[in-house]
Amino acid sequence: DAGITQSPRHKVTETGTPVTLRCHQTENHRYMYWYRQDPGHGLRLIHYSYGVKDTDKGEVSDGYSVSRSKTEDFLLTLESATSSQTSVYFCAISDQTDTQYFGPGTRLTVL
Amino acid sequence: GNSVTQMEGPVTLSEEAFLTINCTYTATGYPSLFWYVQYPGEGLQLLLKATKADDKGSNKGFEATYRKETTSFHLEKGSVQVSDSAVYFCALTPNTNAGKSTFGDGTTLTVKP
Protein backbone atom coordinates (compact mmCIF):
# COMPACT_ATOMS: atom_id res chain seq x y z
CA ASP A 1 0.00 0.00 0.00
CA ALA A 2 1.18 3.52 -0.84
CA GLY A 3 2.14 5.49 2.25
CA ILE A 4 -0.53 8.14 2.49
CA THR A 5 -2.05 9.43 5.69
CA GLN A 6 -4.71 12.04 6.25
CA SER A 7 -5.40 13.99 9.40
CA PRO A 8 -7.73 14.41 11.05
CA ARG A 9 -9.86 11.44 10.02
CA HIS A 10 -13.02 13.01 11.38
CA LYS A 11 -13.84 16.60 12.21
CA VAL A 12 -16.93 18.49 13.26
CA THR A 13 -16.77 22.26 13.08
CA GLU A 14 -19.05 25.28 12.98
CA THR A 15 -19.92 27.53 10.08
CA GLY A 16 -17.44 30.34 9.64
CA THR A 17 -14.47 28.67 11.30
CA PRO A 18 -11.24 27.91 9.43
CA VAL A 19 -10.32 24.28 8.89
CA THR A 20 -7.09 22.71 7.65
CA LEU A 21 -6.78 19.14 6.48
CA ARG A 22 -3.40 17.52 6.08
CA CYS A 23 -2.18 14.92 3.65
CA HIS A 24 1.20 13.29 4.18
CA GLN A 25 2.99 10.88 1.84
CA THR A 26 6.12 8.81 2.20
CA GLU A 27 6.39 7.83 -1.50
CA ASN A 28 8.09 10.95 -2.85
CA HIS A 29 5.46 11.20 -5.61
CA ARG A 30 5.36 14.39 -7.61
CA TYR A 31 1.59 14.86 -7.88
CA MET A 32 -0.78 15.32 -4.98
CA TYR A 33 -4.54 15.91 -5.17
CA TRP A 34 -7.49 16.86 -3.02
CA TYR A 35 -10.95 15.56 -3.92
CA ARG A 36 -14.31 15.72 -2.29
CA GLN A 37 -16.82 12.89 -2.49
CA ASP A 38 -20.52 13.56 -2.25
CA PRO A 39 -23.50 11.31 -2.99
CA GLY A 40 -24.52 11.62 -6.64
CA HIS A 41 -21.37 13.51 -7.61
CA GLY A 42 -18.64 10.92 -7.50
CA LEU A 43 -15.21 12.42 -6.91
CA ARG A 44 -14.60 16.03 -7.76
CA LEU A 45 -11.14 17.57 -7.93
CA ILE A 46 -10.61 20.58 -5.66
CA HIS A 47 -6.93 21.38 -6.19
CA TYR A 48 -3.83 19.52 -7.18
CA SER A 49 -0.09 20.03 -6.96
CA TYR A 50 2.59 19.08 -9.46
CA GLY A 51 5.53 20.02 -7.27
CA VAL A 52 6.60 22.00 -4.24
CA LYS A 53 4.83 25.37 -4.34
CA ASP A 54 3.23 24.44 -7.68
CA THR A 55 -0.53 24.09 -7.48
CA ASP A 56 -3.54 24.46 -9.75
CA LYS A 57 -7.30 24.60 -9.39
CA GLY A 58 -9.70 21.77 -10.02
CA GLU A 59 -13.39 21.94 -10.88
CA VAL A 60 -14.65 22.86 -7.38
CA SER A 61 -11.93 25.11 -5.97
CA ASP A 62 -14.07 28.01 -4.71
CA GLY A 63 -13.82 28.34 -0.93
CA TYR A 64 -10.67 26.22 -0.74
CA SER A 65 -6.96 26.98 -0.77
CA VAL A 66 -3.95 24.68 -0.71
CA SER A 67 -0.28 24.79 0.08
CA ARG A 68 2.64 22.50 -0.56
CA SER A 69 5.85 23.63 1.09
CA LYS A 70 7.39 20.15 1.17
CA THR A 71 7.15 17.22 -1.22
CA GLU A 72 5.50 15.05 1.41
CA ASP A 73 2.79 17.41 2.68
CA PHE A 74 -0.25 18.91 0.95
CA LEU A 75 -2.59 21.04 3.04
CA LEU A 76 -6.19 21.90 2.21
CA THR A 77 -7.68 24.93 3.96
CA LEU A 78 -11.27 26.02 4.20
CA GLU A 79 -10.90 29.69 5.12
CA SER A 80 -14.45 30.00 6.43
CA ALA A 81 -16.29 26.70 6.46
CA THR A 82 -19.86 26.49 5.18
CA SER A 83 -22.43 23.71 5.45
CA SER A 84 -22.05 23.01 1.73
CA GLN A 85 -18.49 21.90 2.45
CA THR A 86 -19.68 18.99 4.58
CA SER A 87 -18.21 16.07 2.70
CA VAL A 88 -15.65 13.30 2.68
CA TYR A 89 -12.27 14.58 1.53
CA PHE A 90 -9.71 12.33 -0.12
CA CYS A 91 -6.10 13.00 -0.79
CA ALA A 92 -4.34 11.15 -3.59
CA ILE A 93 -0.83 10.93 -4.98
CA SER A 94 0.62 9.81 -8.28
CA ASP A 95 3.90 9.46 -10.06
CA GLN A 96 4.56 9.45 -13.80
CA THR A 97 2.35 6.40 -14.40
CA ASP A 98 -0.88 8.33 -13.81
CA THR A 99 -2.26 5.78 -11.37
CA GLN A 100 -3.50 7.56 -8.28
CA TYR A 101 -3.16 6.19 -4.77
CA PHE A 102 -5.73 7.38 -2.30
CA GLY A 103 -5.63 8.10 1.39
CA PRO A 104 -8.27 6.82 3.83
CA GLY A 105 -10.33 10.01 3.73
CA THR A 106 -11.42 12.71 6.17
CA ARG A 107 -15.07 13.07 7.08
CA LEU A 108 -15.83 16.75 7.68
CA THR A 109 -19.10 17.99 9.11
CA VAL A 110 -19.86 21.70 9.16
CA LEU A 111 -22.75 22.59 11.46
CA GLY B 1 -13.85 19.61 -21.15
CA ASN B 2 -13.36 15.96 -20.38
CA SER B 3 -16.16 13.84 -18.99
CA VAL B 4 -16.86 10.28 -17.87
CA THR B 5 -20.32 8.74 -17.89
CA GLN B 6 -20.98 5.56 -15.97
CA MET B 7 -23.90 3.22 -15.90
CA GLU B 8 -26.21 4.30 -13.15
CA GLY B 9 -26.63 2.10 -10.15
CA PRO B 10 -27.19 0.54 -7.87
CA VAL B 11 -26.60 -2.86 -9.41
CA THR B 12 -27.66 -5.99 -7.54
CA LEU B 13 -26.57 -9.44 -8.70
CA SER B 14 -26.59 -12.95 -7.40
CA GLU B 15 -23.29 -14.68 -6.73
CA GLU B 16 -21.69 -16.16 -9.88
CA ALA B 17 -23.65 -13.84 -12.18
CA PHE B 18 -22.00 -11.97 -15.06
CA LEU B 19 -21.19 -8.32 -14.44
CA THR B 20 -21.02 -5.43 -16.86
CA ILE B 21 -20.67 -1.81 -15.81
CA ASN B 22 -20.70 0.56 -18.75
CA CYS B 23 -18.36 3.53 -19.01
CA THR B 24 -18.03 6.01 -21.85
CA TYR B 25 -15.84 9.07 -21.99
CA THR B 26 -15.29 12.33 -23.80
CA ALA B 27 -11.75 13.60 -24.13
CA THR B 28 -9.34 15.00 -26.64
CA GLY B 29 -6.31 12.98 -27.56
CA TYR B 30 -5.54 9.64 -25.99
CA PRO B 31 -6.19 9.61 -22.25
CA SER B 32 -5.32 6.77 -19.91
CA LEU B 33 -8.38 4.98 -18.59
CA PHE B 34 -8.90 3.47 -15.16
CA TRP B 35 -11.30 1.54 -13.01
CA TYR B 36 -11.04 2.15 -9.28
CA VAL B 37 -12.90 0.30 -6.54
CA GLN B 38 -13.97 1.64 -3.15
CA TYR B 39 -14.90 -0.62 -0.27
CA PRO B 40 -16.98 0.76 2.60
CA GLY B 41 -15.10 3.23 4.77
CA GLU B 42 -12.00 3.20 2.58
CA GLY B 43 -10.36 5.28 -0.11
CA LEU B 44 -10.35 4.30 -3.76
CA GLN B 45 -7.86 1.76 -5.01
CA LEU B 46 -6.83 0.92 -8.53
CA LEU B 47 -8.57 -2.10 -10.01
CA LEU B 48 -7.19 -1.97 -13.56
CA LYS B 49 -6.05 0.44 -16.23
CA ALA B 50 -5.31 0.80 -19.94
CA THR B 51 -3.12 3.43 -21.50
CA LYS B 52 -3.76 3.10 -25.23
CA ALA B 53 -6.40 1.99 -27.69
CA ASP B 54 -7.19 -1.76 -27.77
CA ASP B 55 -5.28 -2.38 -24.52
CA LYS B 56 -7.05 -4.70 -22.10
CA GLY B 57 -6.64 -4.12 -18.40
CA SER B 58 -7.30 -7.05 -16.08
CA ASN B 59 -7.10 -7.84 -12.38
CA LYS B 60 -8.86 -10.22 -9.96
CA GLY B 61 -11.06 -11.58 -12.76
CA PHE B 62 -12.18 -8.12 -13.89
CA GLU B 63 -11.45 -6.94 -17.42
CA ALA B 64 -11.92 -3.78 -19.47
CA THR B 65 -10.85 -2.95 -23.02
CA TYR B 66 -9.95 0.56 -24.22
CA ARG B 67 -12.20 1.12 -27.25
CA LYS B 68 -11.22 4.31 -29.04
CA GLU B 69 -13.84 3.94 -31.75
CA THR B 70 -16.71 3.83 -29.25
CA THR B 71 -14.94 5.89 -26.52
CA SER B 72 -15.75 3.19 -24.02
CA PHE B 73 -14.09 1.23 -21.23
CA HIS B 74 -16.72 -1.18 -19.93
CA LEU B 75 -15.93 -3.27 -16.86
CA GLU B 76 -16.74 -7.00 -16.94
CA LYS B 77 -16.41 -10.01 -14.71
CA GLY B 78 -17.59 -13.47 -15.58
CA SER B 79 -18.60 -14.62 -12.10
CA VAL B 80 -19.04 -12.15 -9.24
CA GLN B 81 -18.59 -12.95 -5.58
CA VAL B 82 -20.08 -11.42 -2.46
CA SER B 83 -16.67 -9.89 -1.76
CA ASP B 84 -16.96 -7.85 -4.99
CA SER B 85 -19.65 -5.70 -3.41
CA ALA B 86 -18.28 -2.16 -3.57
CA VAL B 87 -18.50 1.11 -5.48
CA TYR B 88 -16.76 1.15 -8.85
CA PHE B 89 -15.44 4.33 -10.49
CA CYS B 90 -14.39 4.82 -14.07
CA ALA B 91 -11.81 7.58 -14.60
CA LEU B 92 -9.58 9.13 -17.22
CA THR B 93 -6.32 11.05 -17.07
CA PRO B 94 -5.29 13.16 -20.06
CA ASN B 95 -1.89 12.31 -21.48
CA THR B 96 -1.10 16.03 -21.52
CA ASN B 97 -1.81 16.76 -17.85
CA ALA B 98 -1.64 14.09 -15.16
CA GLY B 99 -3.23 16.53 -12.74
CA LYS B 100 -6.57 16.82 -14.46
CA SER B 101 -8.20 13.47 -13.88
CA THR B 102 -11.95 13.10 -14.31
CA PHE B 103 -14.02 10.51 -12.46
CA GLY B 104 -17.46 9.09 -13.13
CA ASP B 105 -20.14 9.24 -10.46
CA GLY B 106 -19.55 5.66 -9.33
CA THR B 107 -21.69 2.53 -9.56
CA THR B 108 -22.63 0.64 -6.42
CA LEU B 109 -22.56 -3.13 -6.81
CA THR B 110 -24.18 -5.46 -4.32
CA VAL B 111 -23.71 -9.20 -4.74
CA LYS B 112 -26.10 -11.46 -2.84
CA PRO B 113 -25.28 -15.05 -1.87
CA A78/CA B39 separation, integer angstroms: 27
CA A2/CA B45 separation, integer angstroms: 10
Burial A22-46 (b: 16+ CB within 10 A, else e): ebbbeeebbbbbbbbbeeeebbbbb
pLDDT digits (tens, 9 = 90+) for B19-78: 999 999 999 888 999 999 999 889 999 999 999 999 999 999 999 999 999 999 999 999
Q: Is the peptide bond before A8 cis (omega within 30 degrees of 0)?
A: yes
- Asked if A99's CB is within 8 angstroms of B46's CB, the reply is yes
pLDDT digits (tens, 9 = 90+) for B69-112: 999 999 999 999 999 999 999 999 987 776 778 999 999 999 99
- Asked if A101's CB is within 8 angstroms of B105's CB, the reply is no
CA B106/CA B103 separation, integer angstroms: 8
Give the nearest chain A residue to B107 (CA atoms). Answer: A42
Give chain A positions within 8 Å (CB) of B103: 35, 42-44
Longest dimension (CA), chain A: 40
Specify the 3-state DSSP secondary structure of A51: strand
- Asked if A45's CB is within 8 angstroms of B100's CB, the reply is yes
